[in-house]
Amino acid sequence: MSNQIGAKNYKQFVYVIGFILIILVVFVMMAKNQNMIVVKDGNANKTPYELVGGKYQDSDCGMVINDMKFVSQVVSNDGKTWFFHDHGGMANWLKNKPLKTTATIWVMSLDTKIYIDGRKAWYSRIDTTPMGYGFGAYENKKDGLIDFEEMFLHMVRGEHLKNPQIRASLLKEIK
């Protein structure tokens, strides 16, 4: 009788291991089929790429970039380009990088719907962005917008819409 129990447990164990292996194989195959682009080499002209939704992955959080409304691109002097779906995530990724002061930054402008120089852009602190940081980019200055340096500083200090105290303060100001 104990041999029957042992054989039964062994069969169950083999089935579970087999099932887990099948799941792993499926996930590996799916990952290879997606061919997500996280960083792209060869951008010698340091111009923004025209992104296609579902093909690029955010270099900060790893999420797939589907919406181009808040897209950022960071281009190093050697032509490597990283992609982001939230300007706050771009600033978060850039904060500890040696290229933070020398990189070319492109951001999608909400008012003109074109890529603009991220260092010359104006930023809102209260837009509804993919990661919830609130920093929307604008080409034309309006009341309440801040420059790149101030946006960057707010982001690295944690002074963004994901911070409940900052959120309450900023949203109270606009009521």
Q: What is the pLDDT of residues 85-106, one digit of tens each?
A: 999 999 999 999 999 999 999 9
Residues in the chain: 175
Position 65 scores a pLDDT of 97
Position 3 scores a pLDDT of 57
| pLDDT exceeds cutoff 90 at 78 | yes
User: pLDDT class for 51, splitting at 50, 70, 90?
Assistant: very high
Q: What's the rounded Cα separation, in Å, for the pair 127 and 70?
A: 10
**Single-letter residue type at 51:** L
Sign of CA dihedral 40, 42, 48, 53: negative
Position 118 scores a pLDDT of 99
Position 5 scores a pLDDT of 57
What are residue 72's DSSP bridge partners? 84, 107
Out of 18-27, 33-42, 56-65, pick the least confident.
Answer: 18-27
CB 84 within 8 A of CB 60: yes
What 3-state DSSP class applies to 27?
helix
Within 10 A of 151 (CB to CB), how many other CB atoms are there? 29
CB 148 within 8 A of CB 101: no
Position 11 scores a pLDDT of 81
Domains in the chain: boundaries: 1-34, 39-174
